[in-house]
Amino acid sequence: MLYSSSRPDRPRRVPLLCAVAATLFGLAACGQETPVTTIRFDAFGGLVDLSLVGVDRQQAQQAASLVQQDFAFLQDAWHSWQPGPMGRVNQMLLTEEPFVAPPSTMPLVRLSKDFEEQSGGLFNPAIGYLMDLWGFHADAVRSRPPPPAQHIERLVAAAPGMSQIDIEGLELHGHNPAIKLDFDSIAKSHAMDLAIEHLRELGIKSALIKAGGEVRVIGDRSGQPWRITIRRPSGSGVLAIVPMGGDESLVTKADYDRNFVFKGEIYHAIIDPRTGSPARGTRSVTVLHRDATTAAAAATAMFVAGPTDWETVARAMDIRYVLLVDAEGTLHMNAAMADRIELVDTGARIAP
């Protein structure tokens, strides 16, 4: 088990939807057909697709079962609003006393402290009470009036941040009772990174894991690149295709991912920690990077930064490939992404 020396006796299992009837299909390469096995299962509130190249059915099912167990364990360990390890961590942070944190939590805390500093505070998973206030700590997000402005202002004024959490060996020590950790923006991506390392340990050299707008790949599809689509800002149709291979991740953060509509206005779950409200000016941000965790954190920060300041964040976080779609539908991208991307929506406006 990732983050554990042994697997629990009875791990919570999420049913493999296609484990027994895995899809096998051939891809032409050097005159031969290499099997690609695709398995689908539920995790982190959605469907996860795992594609494995050049393995037989038994190997694929073994690998998928292990990855599924890891995802189920990590989903429980990092869940932001259900009882579990994260709930206990947040209860202890309220006391402002040092405590021994669950091993599963420590890597996300360490990474998030770095990401917060690099992004100038625009990536900030310490604002869980704001997520509560907006109603995003629920399995089903429902339409509702925005929170009262004074409630938002009070939480913003409390200024919770990752920099106010000290790591001392195995202990965490919070210095602001307004801190409530919510790692939803990077949890799924980090699980994908860990799963890829697990697949490597099993000897698998080419694989893809896809969950919503987040993709992690190693190797290739029988000598051909993985061709990954980016959805239009509306959430329907294809905006572009990105060829990927080797060891790469592609993460899109968009206002269609988790939101509600009230009186015709969309309120999404990417909160600007400076205002306490959903970030405005951006529809989606796509980041191509080696690891999915960094890509997810950077995409979140650049979504908040918006079309005028995203390049500053990209440089600070050492992100080379970025595509941002602003509120008017205009595409903003750096030169490296412009060279890499294949636009399908040829009528899209591109910023100079």
Looking at residue 97, which CATH number applies to its domain? 1.10.3980.10
User: Is residue 150 one of the residues assigned to a domain?
Assistant: yes
Q: How far is residue 18 from each of residues 26, 32, 65, 115, 192, measured CA to CA in Å?
A: 18, 26, 11, 36, 19
pTM: 0.90
User: Is residue 105 one of the residues assigned to a domain?
Assistant: yes
pLDDT value of residue 184: 96
pLDDT tier for residue 349 given thresholds of 50, 70 and 90: very high
User: Is residue 151 one of the residues assigned to a domain?
Assistant: yes
- Calculate the dihedral angle through the C-alpha atoms of 115, 118, 123, 128, rounding to the nearest 10 degrees: 60
Number of domains in the chain: 1
CB crowding 93-111: b at 16 or more within 10 Å, else e:
beeeeeeebbebbbebbeb
For the chain, what percent of residues have pLDDT higher than 70? 90
pLDDT over 50 at 215, yes or no: yes
pLDDT tier for residue 9 given thresholds of 50, 70 and 90: very low
pLDDT value of residue 18: 42
User: Is residue 149 one of the residues assigned to a domain?
Assistant: yes
pLDDT value of residue 222: 85
CB crowding 289-305: b at 16 or more within 10 Å, else e:
bebbbbbbbbbbbbbbb
User: Is residue 42 one of the residues assigned to a domain?
Assistant: no
Q: How far apart are CA 129 and CA 155, in angstroms?
A: 7
Q: Are 337 and 240 in contact (CB under 8 A)?
A: no
Other Cβ atoms less than 10 A from the Cβ of 135: the count is: 18
For the chain, what percent of residues have pLDDT higher than 90? 80
pLDDT over 80 at 38, yes or no: yes
pLDDT tier for residue 30 given thresholds of 50, 70 and 90: very low
Q: How far is residue 112 from each of residues 31, 163, 184, 226, 298, measured CA to CA in Å?
A: 47, 9, 12, 29, 11
- Calculate the dihedral angle through the C-alpha atoms of 90, 256, 274, 161, rounding to the nearest 10 degrees: 20
pLDDT tier for residue 219 given thresholds of 50, 70 and 90: very high
User: Is residue 90 one of the residues assigned to a domain?
Assistant: yes
DSSP secondary-structure letter at 348?
A: -
Q: Give 294-304 pLDDT, tens digit per residue.
A: 999 999 999 99
- Calculate the dihedral angle through the C-alpha atoms of 72, 77, 79, 83, rounding to the nearest 10 degrees: 110
Please compute, for residue 16, the number of CA atoms within 13 A of its CA located in the half-sphere on the CB side.
Answer: 20
Q: How far is residue 212 from each of residues 26, 127, 216, measured CA to CA in Å?
A: 25, 23, 11
Q: How far apart are CA 281 and CA 133, in angstroms?
A: 22
Copy the structure tokens of residue 201. 């340990």
Q: Give 126-181 pLDDT, tens digit per residue.
A: 999 999 999 999 988 999 999 999 999 999 999 999 999 999 999 999 999 999 99
User: Is residue 126 one of the residues assigned to a domain?
Assistant: yes
pLDDT value of residue 199: 95
- Phi/psi at 221 (nearest 5 deg)? -95, 85
pLDDT over 60 at 33, yes or no: no
pLDDT over 90 at 119, yes or no: yes
Burial class (CB in 10 A: 0-12, 13-18, 19+), 27: middle
Domain enclosing residue 137, as ranges: 85-184
Strand order in the sheet with 238-244: 226-231, 238-244, 342-343
pLDDT over 50 at 16, yes or no: no
pLDDT, averaged across the chain: 90
User: Across-strand partners of 262?
Assistant: 265
Q: Are 99 and 172 in contact (CB under 8 A)?
A: yes
More confident residue, 34 or 227: 227
User: Is residue 279 one of the residues assigned to a domain?
Assistant: no
